[in-house]
Amino acid sequence: MCTILGATGAQLTRQELEAHFAATHTRGPDDQALVQVGSCWLGFQRLAIMDLSPRGMQPFSLEGDYVVCNGEIYGFRALRRSLEGKYPFHSDSDCEVLLPLYREYGRGMFSQLGSEFALVLYDHRTDALLAARDPLGIRPLYYGTDRFGETVFASEPKDLVGLCQTIAPFPPGHYWEGGRFHRYIDLTTVTQFSPDDEETACRKIRDLLVRSVQARLDADAPLGFLLSGGLDSSLVCAISAKLLGKPIRTFAIGMDTDPIDLKYAQQAAEYLGADHTAFTMTRQEVLEALPEVVALLGTWDITTIRASLGMYLCCKKIREATDLRVLMTGEISDELFGYKYTDFASSDEAFQGEAKKRVDEIHTYDVLRADRCIAANSMEGRVPFGDSDLVRYVMSIHPKWKRNRHGVGKYLLRKAFQGEGLLPDGILWREKAAFSDAVGHSMVDDLKAYAEAHYTDEEFQRRRLWYPHGTPFTKESLLYREIFEQHYPGQGGMIPAFWMPNPSWAGCAVDDPSARVLSNYGASGQ
């Protein structure tokens, strides 16, 4: 991961900007630049992934225009070949194609950039900035207004605390120009469902996911894989191992007392012939990490925080023990293919509407979690299930094929790889617990007990009402909110709501986001 920054005016001093920019130095520890371009500022903190030489350092410039980008432009080699001869190239960085593309296509370039980018671009002809974010918000970007009335952009909200009164996430699939947002792509609105039947859908899902994984294996820095033992990460690992034709490095984590998924991760790793490392974490490590994790996440959501504790500690241990710079992950599969709770969807329309809502908001939940946990440890996360072509297609599949018609969740995804020999059936068809449960049920129980001891009943009822948006409803949620407010005072609106099963569906009006509380949890996570 890298950090980008942009300000539409130059009234903020270099000293001010540098002080705030330092909050995200772990995202880009290799090099830093903060430059005034015209009447604007651009900043960049580099984590070297493509072209590890100094030539890959940003901002890139072209005839007076400048750009900073946190992203991977998958397929950039073909784009570059189409531009060579007309524009000079001085590095092997994927992001150097951005300014030539802007000269050729203007705002039309954003839809060509793929699935993982956030950028701020200075156009010298207008002496103004443009900013844009990928279709799902896999790469982070936030904005606010400084005391001079200028707009400031940054990769994380912590860079803007103290500079801007109100901080908001930059909407995915949009670009910003002249004070206004413009949508350039919409992957989740379906006006007409695909006519594909189940067999055709499975074949296309397989082809699209394999293509997505293959694109994300392109890196000049060492690459590793998070492997929980569940379907999503196991598929990413299996496809990668087959494409690379050599052992991959995989990592998993679980509680030291009752890890659920470590054994399944071990099984998958052995089947793949992976170089596998299993970490454990203790109750003390979890509780000590809690304030740090809430601070780096910038959220008060229960589900996101719970799931981040294991992921953050796993990434921390990877960073301490290896030279890896890139991690492949399995996020976004659940949103596309269904959760345990979407078994309760009352109709095809209800299922589709829930999928759209979850994918549209994913940048404030699971994608946020993956980005911060990995970036805080100076590594880059890549998300194959977030590929634009894959997301667009899966959203277009008629929900009657995606709903749980066979007594097993995510049936289409499982069937797509049946008979391929990529994974043993025990992994391919196993129902998996949510990550915050799969590391061990004791972790969530420990967090609840810790929060319970933190407040009296009277304190909880009084203090929860201080927050009209996202009002805490358990002592655990109040604890998280109060830690959040210490670091992001008054910025609770960055998160739309608690991630919870849809309470309007029968069987989903629950008081905890864990799938453990649902009646259909069954053998998940055992």
pLDDT tens, residue order, the chain (526 aa) = 799 999 999 999 999 999 999 999 999 999 999 999 999 999 999 999 999 999 999 999 999 999 999 999 999 999 999 999 999 999 999 999 999 999 999 999 999 999 999 999 999 999 999 999 999 999 999 999 999 999 999 999 999 999 999 999 999 999 999 999 999 999 999 999 999 999 999 999 999 999 999 999 999 999 999 999 899 999 999 999 999 999 999 999 999 998 888 999 999 999 999 999 999 999 999 999 999 999 999 999 999 999 999 999 999 999 999 999 999 999 999 999 998 899 999 999 999 999 999 999 999 999 999 999 999 999 999 999 999 999 999 999 999 999 998 888 999 999 999 999 999 999 999 876 555 567 878 899 999 999 999 999 999 999 999 999 999 999 999 999 999 999 999 999 999 999 999 999 998 999 898 878 888 776 655 5
Question: Do 124 and 22 sit in the same domain of this protein?
Answer: yes
Tell me which H or E stretch contains 276. strand 275-281
Q: Which domain holds residue 280?
A: 198-517
Q: Number of C-alpha atoms within 13 angstroms, CB side, residue 466?
A: 14
Task: Give the closest residue to 18 by CA, choosing from 43, 47, 48.
Answer: 43
At 525 the pLDDT is 53
Distances (CA, A) of 75 to 57, 79, 336: 20, 7, 24
d(Cα 308, Cα 8) in Å, to the nearest integer?
A: 34
Are 217 and 165 found together in one domain? no
Same domain, 69 and 158: yes
Looking at the structure, tell me whether residues 145 and 204 fall in a common domain.
no
Query: Do residues 40 and 91 both lie within one domain?
Result: yes
Question: Catalytic residues, which ones?
Answer: 2
The reply to whether 53 and 147 lie within a common domain is: yes
User: Could you tell me the end-to-end alpha-carbon distance of the chain, in angstroms, rounded to an integer?
Assistant: 34
Q: Is 380 helix (H, G, I), strand (E, B) or coil?
A: strand
Instruction: Please say which residue of 149, 183, 217 terminates a domain.
Output: 183
The per-residue pLDDT for 526 is 54
Handedness of CA 12, 14, 16, 19 (dihedral sign): positive
Q: Do residues 121 and 62 touch, judged by C-beta distance below 8 A?
A: no
Q: What's the CATH code of the domain at 128?
A: 3.60.20.10
Q: Going along 96-164, which residue ranges are E strands? A: 116-123, 128-133, 142-145, 151-154
Domain-ending residue, one of 183, 218, 250: 183
Instruction: Say which residues have a Cβ less than 8 Å from residue 161's Cβ, sequence separation at least 6.
Output: 20, 23, 167, 487, 488, 489, 491
| Residues sharing a CB contact under 8 Å with residue 162, sequence separation 6 or more, in sequence order | 20
State how far the Cα of 122 lies from the Cα of 351, in Å rounded to an integer.
Answer: 42
Same domain (yes/no): 460, 397: yes
**Residue 526 included in any domain:** no
CATH number of the domain at 333, please.
3.40.50.620
Number of domains in the chain: 2
| Whether 361 contacts 300, CB under 8 Å | no
Cα–Cα distances in Å, from 274 out to 310, 323, 431? 21, 17, 22
Instruction: Name the burial class of residue 442, with classes exposed (0-12), middle (13-18) and buried (19+) by CB atoms within 10 angstroms of its CB.
Output: middle
Of 183, 215, 239, the last residue of a domain is 183
Assess contact for 194 and 201: CB atoms under 8 A. yes
Residues 203 and 177 in one domain: no
pTM: 0.96
Nearest CA among 502, 439, 490 for reference residue 466: 490
Residues 176 and 215 in one domain: no
Dump the DSSP string for 311-326: HHHHHHHHHHH----E
Is 522 inside a domain boundary? no
State the Cα–Cα distance between residues 15 and 500, nearest whole angstrom.
42
> Can you list the positions of beta strands (E) in 73-134?
116-123, 128-133
499 with 303: CB under 8 angstroms?
yes
149/205 same-domain check = no
What pLDDT, on a 0 to 100 scale, did the predictor assign at position 440?
Answer: 72
The pLDDT, as a whole number, for residue 405 is 86
Q: Is residue 328 in some structural domain? A: yes
Instruction: Give the pairing of strands 151-154 and 174-177.
Output: unpaired
- Domain membership of residue 466 (yes or no) is yes
Is residue 525 assigned to a domain?
no
| pLDDT (0 to 100) of residue 516 | 80
Ramachandran class of 438: left when φ > 0, alpha when ψ lies in -120 to 50, beta otherwise: alpha
| Residue 381 host element (H or E) | strand 380-382
Burial of 26 (0-12, 13-18, 19+ CB in 10 A): middle
Q: Are residues 32 and 59 in the same domain?
A: yes
Distance CA 254, CA 347 (A): 37
387 domain-assigned: yes
Count of Cβ atoms closer than 10 Å to residue 283 Cβ:
18
Q: What is the pairing mode between strands 142-145 and 116-123? A: unpaired
Any domain includes 445: yes
Strand ordering across the sheet containing 151-154:
31-37, 40-46, 3-7, 151-154, 142-145, 167-169
**One domain, residues 393 and 244:** yes
Residue 102 belongs to a domain: yes
The secondary element (H helix, E strand) that includes residue 480 is: helix 475-487
